[in-house]
Amino acid sequence: MNDTHDQTDDQIQNQEANSENMKIDQEQVEREEHAARMESIRQLAQANEIEVAAEDAEILDALLDTINQRDELQDKLLRAAADHQNFQRRATGNEREARTSATQGVVQSLIPLLDTFEMALLQDPEKVTAEQVIEGVRMIRGEFLRLLSGYGVSSIDPVVGDEFNPVEHSAMMQQPADGVEPGHISLNMGMGFKLGERVVRPAKVAVVPSIEAEPATEPADSTES
């Protein structure tokens, strides 16, 4: 019994769906027929093959003028769409070229620094002292910082006693230091960097903690005499 009922519901739904599809198809046919009639009238009007009474001549002129304006606007729209597509293609190409050029500039700047590393690795370990190695590393570090400065990168290198700035400094720990006030830097644990005014990485620091209030002492118990 239930199976029969389900089959009936399915048939009803299928009939409704078919009816809706037929309605949509019919509306589509009517729209296409209407568009065809309008196009036929347009072509006849442009060919001056429509006969109208003298008093209706202005209506025909207005129709022809409207058609011409529509055609002109449609042509302008198509040209504008084509220009926009060409602009998008050029903009995408320019953006890609700008990224490639920027990357190329960075790579070209890094290559001399890599050459310096290669020269350092060619040194005879038995003839190089620890001081010379440290001095070489210091020189490479300076060259690298100079390279970064050429791209607008500056270092954030606070010294002990500087006031803690949460924008440019990252507090890694609290550590007191002689002669340094609370809320000031007691140790520089790592240099930070800025690109222009934007902080790329804050400097890692230790900060002198705030002075905690001393615990209040309770008054001594007094004994009555």
pLDDT of residue 70: 83
Q: Of 94 and 13, which is predicted with more confidence?
A: 94
Burial of 158 (0-12, 13-18, 19+ CB in 10 A): buried
Q: What is the mean pLDDT of residues 9-19?
A: 71
Could you read off the pLDDT of 139-157 as tens digits, one per residue? 888 888 888 898 899 999 9
pLDDT above 90 (res 182):
yes
Residue 21 lies in a domain: yes
pLDDT above 90 (res 136):
no
Q: What is the mean pLDDT of residues 129-136?
A: 89
Residue 26 lies in a domain: yes
pLDDT classification of 4: cutoffs 50, 70, 90: low
Residue 105 lies in a domain: no
pLDDT of residue 157: 95
The answer to whether the CB of 157 falls within 8 A of the CB of 189 is no
Residue 222 lies in a domain: no
pLDDT above 50 (res 214):
no
Q: In whole numbers, what is the pLDDT of the chain averaged over residues? A: 83
Domain holding 61, by residue range, is: 2-43+56-86
Residue 124 lies in a domain: no
pLDDT of residue 102: 84
Residue 146 lies in a domain: no
**Percent of the residues in the chain that have a pLDDT greater than 90, as a whole number:** 34
Q: What proportions of the chain, in percent to the nearest 5, are helix, strand and coil?
A: 60, 15, 25
pLDDT classification of 63: cutoffs 50, 70, 90: confident
Record the pTM.
Answer: 0.52
Could you read off the pLDDT of 28-43 as tens digits, one per residue? 888 888 778 777 777 7
The count of structural domains within the chain is 2
Residue 144 lies in a domain: no
CA 77/CA 106 separation, integer angstroms: 43
Same domain as 81, residue 6: yes
Residue 116 lies in a domain: no
pLDDT of residue 201: 96
CATH number, domain containing residue 175: 2.30.22.10
Q: How many CA atoms lie within 13 A of 58 on its CB side?
A: 1
pLDDT above 80 (res 56):
no
pLDDT of residue 202: 97
